Amino acid sequence: MARTATALATTGYIRQHGLTLEQENAIELLVAGKTDRETADAVGVHRVTVTKWRHYDPLFQAELNRSRHDLWAGSIDRLRGLLPRAFDALERALEGDQGWRVALKLVELVGTPPGQRHLSEYLIGPEDPTEVLDAAVRQRRGSPDALLSELIVGGGVTERERAVLASEWGTRLEDTVQT
């Protein structure tokens, strides 16, 4: 059975309650490393629909980030199990000709100031839809670390900024796919 772009388009996009079954399945596939096209084919939607979910649907983004974080957290235990062997190898490497490089890298890795967010939060993203919107607003403002300036001078993300961005993303989600 051939699927048409019309049948798979994002038309009249209205969120009823939470994520749809297609979105939940898409999240599982994306976390497993599938592309937007592979995911769309598997869940029965157009590829652009999956892309729109990833870029313009804060609830979808937050759940995708949460799933990625869970996967990351599960991998941490495995990494922790390797630490004794890694430390032994580092000690041996410190004694070699390039020991200074190893030492420098160790200082960089361990030198995270107290209270700084975990690296996975920077690599994956927020797990709350409001935080997804806030991060997008900050990025739109152009400051790489707008959160720091918010703390220093005040003036965090406003409800109006969130509403404007959510409305814009909602419009993008409603646009139909033309092929």
Q: What is the pLDDT of residues 142-164, one digit of tens each?
A: 755 555 655 555 568 889 989 99
The predicted-structure confidence for 40-78, as pLDDT tens digits, reads as follows: 999 999 999 999 999 999 999 999 999 998 888 888 888
106 versus 89: the higher-pLDDT residue is 89
Place of tokens 């769309």: 40
Per the document, the length of the chain is 179
Q: Of the candidates 66, 83, 25, which has an alpha carbon nearest to the alpha carbon of residue 49?
A: 25
Are the C-beta atoms of 7 and 44 separated by less than 8 Å? no
Count of other CB atoms within 10 angstroms of residue 132: 23
Mean pLDDT of 99-105: 80
What integer pLDDT is reported at residue 97 of this predicted model?
86
Q: Taking CA 130 as the corner, what is the angle to CA 127 and CA 134, rounded to the nearest 5 degrees?
A: 100
Long-range contacts (CB closer than 8 Å, 24 or more residues apart) made by 119-122: 120/69, 120/72, 120/73
Q: pLDDT band at 3, cuts 50/70/90?
A: very low
Say if residue 115's pLDDT is above 60. Answer: no
What integer pLDDT is reported at residue 119 of this predicted model?
53
Which uninterrupted H or E stretch holds 151? helix 146-153
Mean pLDDT value across the chain: 79
